[in-house]
Amino acid sequence: MIGRAALKDPWLIRATQAAFSGQAYQEPTRQERLDFMQRHFEAMLKQHGERVGTLLFRRWLPVYSRGLQIKRATMIALLQSAQADLLRTWLQEQRTS
């Protein structure tokens, strides 16, 4: 059942591999999480268009951003936005900070 769980934790396969090989698992870095979010977001936009892609991607924001310590007000604003540019700008700012 790794397939379904990997949807919510794209690093699960890496964690499983580390467990089976007896190595310590390294949590994904902030940059890895943000890079993955950016790639997924852009893929959603390409597949579904700006508006629908943004609306669909909002579902993944809380899942992928665990551990990024995003302020509650910021997360609420992102989850309520239907504008791709707002999310794109926020991701870019996070990746460069």
Helical spans, DSSP H, in the chain: 2-8, 12-21, 30-48, 50-57, 61-64, 72-80, 84-96
DSSP 8-state class, residue 16: H
Domains of the chain: 29-96 (1.10.1200)
Taking Cα atoms as reference points, which of 63, 61, 89 lies closest to residue 76? 61
Render pLDDT for 54-92 as a digit per residue (tens, 0 to 9).
Answer: 999 999 999 988 889 999 999 999 999 999 999 999 999
What pLDDT sits at residue 51? 95
- Look up the pTM and report it: 0.84
